[in-house]
Structure formats: structure tokens, C-alpha cells
């Protein structure tokens, strides 16, 4: 696209002008020197890090076996002023996007959750197609649609904050989930524990499984996205004190071919890689294949809960862990909306458990008949109609 | 039969560059002490080399094909959706993907030649159309899975006497390269270059300019489909697989000394340019240079190569190491086929 050409021209001009050394600072992190002693990421927040790590061991409140209804250390708020008994609700949802498998699985789960509740007569959904400006106008138009409650999954944090505040001002209860906003006006903000815990789950696993001094390759999708940056910040923090040698931190753009090439290059360059950390599991299968195609053993690897990776894990007997960012969180906003409309208390910040899949329980999550990109932690297996809509 | 290698003009510099890079690789990476390392490099470079060969046909005849990256993505995504893991569907889906590439090339070519829209615009439009259509169809998340049979071409290897295990993609690449080189030696190939050099002369001497241009786009589309099969096989389903490939292919072609605007350059040099590009990136990685520099390097290459080409024949004449026959600037001959 034209952007690519513009990039080329700019990049070329930079390099010609001798400024190529100004290029992004991962040139230093990837230049062979270990990054484990690199300074902390600016996305690192010690208080939040400690809080999230503590959440992992906290005992959730709520029904057993239904993590989407559970809450960690909730601070309940009163919602009596929103009570609107009688049913016949129009539930409204402004969705950031459905442009990746995670969001697709989540959105389907949410649609099925809505079907479970006959008191919701209309479910109005506007898809912002990953555009901030579209979501802002979506939220505005929802305020004229006679919504009983508005669920918002914000595209970005800062830009959507004023729009969420406007929605709150209409007096309709607002529920935010997944990514947050910089305002406390929504009745509840629903999210799993968070990125620090996710990153730490993987890094701690490698710390345990890889011998001291072992070489770890860190693969990230792209810089600058706060959720992903938090994952890396936590991993970086753990690697720093681990004695592991982080031989490279590379960006894959979430592209399987690029991931495979990068891993193959590192196997050649380092002779051996003892662990692979990933900030998201979508390309984990490509990373594993790179080891297989190079004819070497697959080392300890961090993936995610997508079926293709879980199947490979079981079939090949990998040493792996899968931190999850559970898609069952898409069920919770609907449940929360109905609680609020009944006047029941909900937590101000609804923190959901964020399980990880380990070698002990991976077999429970493998579903041979589901598509390869399906996320196992959807909490959808017991829903009526499963597995039809998720296929 | 006496056969001696005849190098088309512009082939020698890129071969020198390639040789230097390969020597660099041998020094920098222990994996390049034995042939298998180079085979792995060739395997990885094969899709780009095939794309570069396709791009060469279009560029040498005076056009651009910016749609190949999006076409690769479309090919992989369509194949995954239709195969959906079932081995029995492999054969017809491969044919369908090739047919799709052919069709896209045909549309590009027809719009360029019949509606007289510059190819830069046509293929840019095609890129956007394909990108948009893929997004609409998949919602950004490809569904389905490729079968092992489909992936064999990009991932697997076959036992060849003497050489041992040779990746399928390398064999496919060699077949295409030989066919392309023979094609360019023939009458149609020469006429194609002549179209890029002087369209009016070809027309006046009875050559079918439109048909030749159309052929170039169709070949480019077809080869992009082949690249899609290899890339999909190499790494599996991804909606990002073709991102930026059109630019890489153009960089490779330019690095091979092919003149933007057409009329000069050899197809072997274009393929060598692609291999050089891949070798360069591998070398940079072995040396620990960040992947973020890749786009900068590509930018520099394209500027330097085009500047070198446009310095004019006078400078080239002085820089040239040995005199060589120009097989491309002869008076254009009518298409003989």
C-alpha cells in the first residue's frame, strides 16, 4: 500500500543520511548482547505487577467451574438506581473489532450467552472495525437506541475515554470489558487478571524448565500495544534475575512465515535455543515447526490456548505452557448487565481468573473437532448449540 | 554441442554481489559449512525468487505488479478455507489457487492494455481490492487448515540421487527458473523486453504489444499463486503472509539490475537479486543486526540500484569489466510465436 512506499522512502532517506543508527532501540536489544540486564520497560509498573501476580494465587469468589462468573477480590458497588425490572431489555454492544480469531471466538460466545437469557429481547451490536472514530460515533448512536445497558469493548484506551464518559452521562448503565478506559464512570470494568500475569506465567515456566545460562529467544508481535508491552515487561523483569541468557527479542508481526524464519535463523546463529517465550501464541506452531524442520529437539516453549498449538503439544509431547487471555470473558458483560438491571451488586472492577494450561491438564483442552484457531478457554462447551457456531 | 554460458547484460554485477554474500555467510555462520545450509537458504528464498521472476516479466515490459503480495495472501487464505484439513481436496484446491492467480493476472493485464490504465494504478487497485475482499471474507482471522499434502511443497523434501534430500520448493524453483530463462531466450521473450524498451517500434514492426503485456501479467499472477502454495506450505495459514512481498519482489528485481520502466535486464539476474536479498537478510541476522533494519536496507537498495541504472550508459560503460554483446537493444523483432 502507499504507506509501505512512504515508509520505504523515509527509511531509505534516513539510511542515506547516515541516521540509520537512530532506528528503533531494539537494535541494541537484538544485537547479540543479552537483554536480561536491560533497563526496565517504561510499561513496567511495580505496583500493578505485584497486584497481578498476587491475583494469580487469590481464591476467586463465585460458582465453581464457571470462571466467567467468578471474581477476584471484588469491591462490590450498589446498582439499585439502575434497576429496571420486567425484562424485555434491549442490550447494546459497541465492539472494537472482530478482526482476529480471539475476538471471533469471544464474540460468538457472547452471542450465545445472550441467547441464554430470554429477558434480552434485542441485542444491538455495532462493529467499529478497529477504528477509533467509528467506535466513537457507534457509541453516540447507541445512546439513541433505547438501550437498557451499553457494553463497550474499547478499541483504544485514551481515545475512547470521552466517548465512554458521554455514554455514562446518558444515565444508562455502561459496562466496559477487555481493554480499559481512563475513567471510573462505567458501572463495572471486566477483565482477566492482565498482561503482567500472562507474561510472568510464561517466563516463570522457562525459568523453571531451562537450565541456568540457557539461551532463550523472545518473540513479540509488535511494539507499542500496552497489553503486549505489559506481557513483555513482566517477562523481562523475571528473565533479568533468572540467569537465563536472552539471546534475542524479535518482532514477528504475528506472521507465521516470519516467525519461522526468525527462529530458524536463531537456531543457526546460536547453535542451540533452550527456550522460546512468546507474547501471544498465534505463531507458536510456526516456531515449533522451525525446530522440527531444522532437525533439532523442540525446547521449552510458551504458547497460548489455540487448538493447533494444543494438539501439537499433545502429539509431540512438548515441554510447554499456555498462559491464556480467556475468551470466556465475553460471557461476563452480559451476565453483569442483567445483574445491574436487577439491581444486584457487581464489582467496580470485575477481575476474572486467568488460568494457564500446563502439561498436566492440556489433554482436557484439546478438542479434535474444533478449528485449529479456536481458543480452548472459551467456557463455551456447555452452552446449547456447541460446537456449531464456533466451527 | 558446444554450450557456453551467455550472461545477459546486468547479470554479472548481481552475481558478484551474491557471491560476496554467500562467502560472507560461510564466514559468519557455522551452518553454511555444508551444502545443507545453502539448500535451506534456497528453500526459504524460493517463494521470493519465484515472485521476482514473475515481477521481472511485468517490469521488463514496462509495467509494475503491486498486487502479488495481496494475491499470495488470498491464495493461502482461500486454500486453507477450501481444504479445511481434508487431504482429498488438496489436488483440486492447488489447481484452483493457480487458476485464481491466472485470473487476477488476466484482469490486471486486460485493464492495463484495454482500458489503458497505468499498471501501477491497476495493480495498486487490485492490491486494495484483494486486501479488502480477504478481510471481508475472513474478518481478519483465516479459517480452516492446510493439509499435509498441500504443505509438502513448501515444507517437505524429496530424495534426489547424488544431492540427497532436496526441498520440493527448490526443485520447483529450478524448473521455473530454467523455463523462464529459455522463454526469455526465445522470440516471445525478446519481444517482451522490446516492448519495455520501445513500444512504438514493436507495434510498427508488427509485434502484438497488448498481447505481450497481457502475457506478462498473467505469468506474474500465476507465479504469485505458486509462491502462495510454497509460502502456505512453509509456514501454514496466516492472513499476513503476503504483507510487503510486492515490494520485496520489486527490490529483488531492481537489485538484479533490471531497469524500472522496462527494456533491459535478465530474468536470471532478477532471481539472483531475490536470492541476494534473502542472503543479505540472513547475513544481517547472523551478524546480529535487528530485523527492523530490513525495510531500511530495502529502501537503500532500491534507491542505489535505480540511481546506478539511471546514471546512464556512459558510466556503466566505464564501470563495465568486460565488453558484452547487448542482446536486448537490437532493433525489435516481431514476435515470432
Structure confidence at residue B281 (pLDDT): 84
> Is pLDDT of B4 > 50?
yes
Pure H helices in B89-208: 90-114, 119-138, 148-155, 168-185, 187-197, 199-204
- Of A221-230, A245-254, B127-136, the one with minimum mean pLDDT is A221-230
Chain B nearest CA to A27, separation (Å): 5
Least confident stretch, B128-132, B134-138, B327-331: B327-331
Give residue-wise pLDDT tens across range B293-332. Answer: 777 888 888 888 777 777 755 555 555 555 554 444 444 4
Per-residue pLDDT, A25: 37
**Quick count: other Cβ atoms within 10 Å of Cβ B91?**
11
Say what the pLDDT of residue A270 is: 84
Q: Residue A71 pairs with which residues in a beta bridge?
A: A61
A13 Cβ under 8 Å from any chain B Cβ: yes
Please give the share of chain B, as a percent, with pLDDT higher than 70: 87
Would you say A276 and A301 are in contact if contact means Cβ atoms under 8 Å apart? Answer: yes
Contacts of A349 (CB under 8 A, 6+ apart): A74, A75, A188, A189, A191
Give residue A78's pLDDT.
92
Alpha-carbon distance of A348 to A65, in angstroms, equals: 23
Q: Which residues pair with A349 in a beta bridge?
A: A189
User: Would you call B295 and A265 a contact, using CB atoms and an 8 Å cutoff?
Assistant: no
Give CA–CA dist B60/B205, Å, rounded. Answer: 19
Average pLDDT value for residue range B269-285: 88
Summarised one tens digit per residue, pLDDT across range A13-22 is 444 443 333 3
**The three grid cell numbers given for residue A200, joined into one nine-digit string:** 510472568
In the structure grid, which three cell numbers stand for residue A300, read together?
A: 521449552
Residue B333, pLDDT above cutoff 60: no
Interface size A-B, in CB pairs within 8 Å, comes to 134
- pLDDT number for residue A98: 86
pLDDT at A176: 95
The predicted-structure confidence for A55-72, as pLDDT tens digits, reads as follows 999 999 999 889 999 999
Q: How large is the average pLDDT for residues A37-66?
A: 85
Interface pTM, i.e. ipTM: 0.70
Residue B97 resides in a domain: yes
Domain tally, chain B: 1
Average pLDDT over residues B34-59: 89
- B291/A251 CB distance under 8 A: yes
Give the cell for residue A321. Answer: 505452557
**C-alpha cell of A113?**
450467552
How does pLDDT run across B67-101, given as a tens digit for each residue? Answer: 999 999 999 999 988 888 788 888 899 999 999 99
For residue B143, give its domain range.
Answer: 11-24+45-319
Calculate how close chain A gets to B1, using CA atoms only, in Å.
42
Least confident of A128-137, A140-149, B51-60, B253-262: B253-262
Cβ under 8 Å to B: A residues 261-320: 261-262, 264-265, 268-269, 271, 283, 285-286, 289, 293, 308
Convert chain A into a string of H (helix), E (strand) and C (coil): CHHHHHHHHHHHHHHHCCCHHHCCCHHHHCCCCCCCCCCCCCCCCHHHHHHHHHHHHCCCECCCCCHHHCECCCCEECCHHHCCCCCCEEEEEEECCCCCHHHHHHHHHHHHHHHCCCCEEEEEEEECCCCHHHHHHHHHHHCCCCCCEEEEECCCHHHHHHHHHHHHHCCCCEEEECCCCCCCCCCEEEEECCHHHHHHHHHHHHHHHCCCCCEEEEEECCCCCHHHHHHHHHHHHHHHCCCCEEEEEEECCCCHHHHHHHHHHHHHHHCCCCEEEECCHHHHHHHHHHHHHCCCCCCEEECCCEHHHHHHHHHHCCCEEEECCCHHHHCHHHHHHHHHHCCCCEECEEEECCCEECCCCHHHHCCCCCCCCCECCCCCCCCCCCCHHHC
A207-246 pLDDT, tens digit each: 999 999 999 999 998 877 778 889 999 999 999 988 899 9
Closest CA to A216 of A174, A262, A184, A247: A247
Chain A residue with CA closest to B38: the answer is A268
Please indicate, yes or no, if residue B230 is contained in any of the structural domains: yes
Q: What is the pLDDT of residue B282?
A: 82
B residues 161-200 lying closer than 8 A (beta carbon) to A: none
pTM: 0.77
Least Cα separation, residue B286 to chain A (angstroms): 6
What percentage of residues in chain A have a pLDDT greater than 70? 90
Question: pLDDT tier at A39 (50, 70, 90 boundaries)?
Answer: low
Shortest Cα–Cα distance, A255 to chain B (Å): 6
Q: Which of residues 94-113 of A touch B (CB under 8 A)?
A: 97-101, 103-104
Query: By the 8 A CB rule, do B51 and B68 touch?
Result: yes
Q: Searching chain A, which residue's CA lies closest to the CA of residue B43?
A: A261
pLDDT at residue B312, as a whole number = 58
* pLDDT (average), residues B211-236: 93
B286 in any annotated domain = yes
Residue A8 contacts B, CB cutoff 8 Å: yes
Residue pair A237/A280 in contact (Cβ under 8 Å)? The answer is no
| pLDDT score of A91 more than 60 | yes
Flag whether pLDDT at B136 surpasses 90: no
- Please, what are the domains in chain A? 25-50+195-323 (3.40.50.2300), 58-193+326-354 (3.40.50.2300)
High-pLDDT (> 90) share of chain A, %: 60
Nearest CB among A7, A16, A285 relative to B300 is that of: A16
Q: Is pLDDT above 50 for A50?
A: yes
A269 to B285: CB separation less than 8 angstroms, yes or no: yes
| A24 contacts B292? CB cut-off 8 A | yes
- Mean pLDDT estimate for chain A: 86
Closest residue in chain B to residue A287, using alpha carbons only: B235
Amino acid at each position: 500500500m502507499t504507506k509501505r512506499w512512504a515508509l520505504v522512502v523515509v527509511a531509505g532517506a534516513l539510511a542515506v543520511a547516515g541516521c540509520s543508527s537512530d532506528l528503533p532501540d531494539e537494535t541494541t536489544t537484538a544485537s547479540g548482547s543479552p537483554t536480561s540486564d536491560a533497563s526496565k520497560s517504561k510499561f513496567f509498573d511495580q505496583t500493578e505487577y505485584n497486584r497481578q501476580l498476587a491475583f494469580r494465587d487469590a481464591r476467586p469468589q463465585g460458582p465453581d467451574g464457571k470462571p466467567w462468573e467468578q471474581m477476584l477480590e471484588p469491591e462490590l458497588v450498589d446498582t439499585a438506581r439502575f434497576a429496571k425490572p420486567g425484562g424485555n431489555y434491549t442490550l447494546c454492544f459497541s465492539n472494537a473489532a472482530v478482526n482476529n480469531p480471539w475476538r471471533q471466538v469471544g464474540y460468538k460466545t457472547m452471542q450465545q450467552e445472550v441467547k441464554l437469557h430470554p429477558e434480552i429481547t434485542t441485542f444491538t451490536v455495532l462493529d467499529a472495525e478497529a477504528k477509533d472514530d467509528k467506535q466513537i460515533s457507534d457509541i453516540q448512536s447507541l445512546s439513541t437506541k433505547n438501550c437498557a445497558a451499553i457494553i463497550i469493548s474499547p478499541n483504544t484506551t485514551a481515545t475512547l475515554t470521552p466517548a465512554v464518559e458521554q455514554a455514562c452521562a446518558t444515565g444508562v448503565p455502561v459496562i466496559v470489558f477487555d481493554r480499559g478506559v481512563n475513567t471510573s464512570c462505567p458501572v463495572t470494568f471486566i477483565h482477566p487478571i492482565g498482561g503482567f500475569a500472562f507474561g510472568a506465567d510464561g517466563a516463570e515456566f522457562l525459568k523453571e524448565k531451562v537450565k541456568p545460562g540457557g539461551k532463550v529467544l523472545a518473540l513479540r508481535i509488535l511494539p507499542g500495544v500496552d497489553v503486549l508491552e505489559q506481557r513483555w515487561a513482566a517477562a523481562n523483569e523475571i528473565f533479568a534475575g533468572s540467569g537465563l541468557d536472552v539471546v534475542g527479542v524479535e518482532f514477528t508481526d504475528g506472521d507465521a512465515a516470519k516467525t519461522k524464519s526468525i527462529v530458524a535463523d536463531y537456531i543457526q546463529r546460536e547453535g542451540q535455543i533452550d527456550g522460546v517465550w512468546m507474547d501471544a501464541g498465534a505463531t507458536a506452531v510456526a516456531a515449533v515447526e522451525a525446530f522440527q524442520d531444522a532437525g533439532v529437539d523442540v525446547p521449552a516453549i510458551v504458547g497460548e490456548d489455540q487448538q493447533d498449538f494444543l494438539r501439537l503439544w499433545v502429539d509431540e509431547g512438548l515441554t510447554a505452557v499456555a498462559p491464556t487471555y480467556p475468551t470466556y470473558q465475553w460471557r461476563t458483560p452480559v451476565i453483569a448487565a442483567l445483574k445491574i438491571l436487577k439491581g444486584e451488586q457487581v464489582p467496580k472492577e470485575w477481575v476474572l481468573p486467568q488460568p494457564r494450561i500446563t502439561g498436566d491438564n492440556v489433554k482436557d483442552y484439546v478438542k479434535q473437532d474444533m478449528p485449529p484457531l479456536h481458543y480452548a478457554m472459551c467456557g463455551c462447551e456447555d452452552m446449547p448449540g456447541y460446537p456449531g457456531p464456533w466451527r | 554441442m558446444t554450450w557456453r554460458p551467455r550472461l545477459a547484460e546486468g547479470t554479472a554485477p548481481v552475481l558478484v554481489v551474491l557471491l560476496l554474500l554467500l562467502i560472507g555467510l560461510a564466514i559468519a555462520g557455522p551452518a553454511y559449512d555444508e551444502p545443507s545450509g545453502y539448500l535451506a537458504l534456497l528453500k526459504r528464498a524460493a517463494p521470493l525468487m519465484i515472485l521476482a521472476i514473475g515481477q521481472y516479466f511485468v517490469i521488463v515490459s514496462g509495467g509494475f505488479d503491486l498486487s502479488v503480495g495481496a494475491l499470495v495472501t488470498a491464495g493461502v487464505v482461500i486454500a486453507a478455507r477450501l481444504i479445511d484439513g481434508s487431504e482429498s481436496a488438496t489436488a483440486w484446491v492447488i489447481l484452483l489457487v493457480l487458476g485464481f492467480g491466472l485470473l487476477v493476472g488476466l484482469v490486471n493485464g486486460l485493464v492495463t492494455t484495454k482500458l489503458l490504465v497505468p499498471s501501477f494504478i491497476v495493480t495498486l487497485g487490485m492490491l486494495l481490492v484483494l486486501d479488502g475482499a480477504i478481510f471481508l471474507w475472513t474478518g481478519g482471522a483465516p479459517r480452516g487448515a492446510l493439509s499435509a499434502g498441500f504443505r509438502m511443497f513448501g515444507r517437505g523434501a524429496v530424495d534426489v540421487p547424488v544431492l540427497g534430500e532436496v526441498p520440493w520448493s527448490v526443485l520447483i524453483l529450478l524448473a521455473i527458473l530454467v523455463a523462464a530463462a529459455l522463454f526469455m531466450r526465445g522470440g516471445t521473450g525478446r519481444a517482451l523486453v522490446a516492448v519495455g524498451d520501445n513500444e512504438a517500434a514493436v507495434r510498427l514492426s508488427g509485434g502484438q504489444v497488448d498481447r505481450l503485456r497481457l502475457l506478462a501479467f498473467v505469468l506474474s499472477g500465476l507465479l504469485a499463486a505458486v509462491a502462495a502454495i510454497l509460502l502456505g506450505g512453509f509456514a501454514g495459514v496466516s492472513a499476513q503472509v503476503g504483507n510487503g512481498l510486492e515490494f520485496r519482489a520489486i527490490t529483488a528485481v531492481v537489485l538484479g539490475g533490471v531497469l524500472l520502466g522496462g527494456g533491459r535486464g535478465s530474468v536470471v539476474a532478477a532471481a539472483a537479486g531475490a536470492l541476494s536479498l534473502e542472503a543479505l537478510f540472513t547475513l544481517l541476522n547472523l551478524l546480529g543486526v535487528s530485523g527492523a533494519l530490513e525495510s531500511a536496507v530495502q529502501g537503500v537498495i532500491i534507491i542505489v540500484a535505480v540511481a546506478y541504472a539511471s546514471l546512464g550508459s556512459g558510466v556503466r560503460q566505464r564501470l563495465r569489466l568486460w565488453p558484452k554483446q547487448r542482446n536486448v537493444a537490437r532493433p525489435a523483432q516481431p514476435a515470432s510465436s
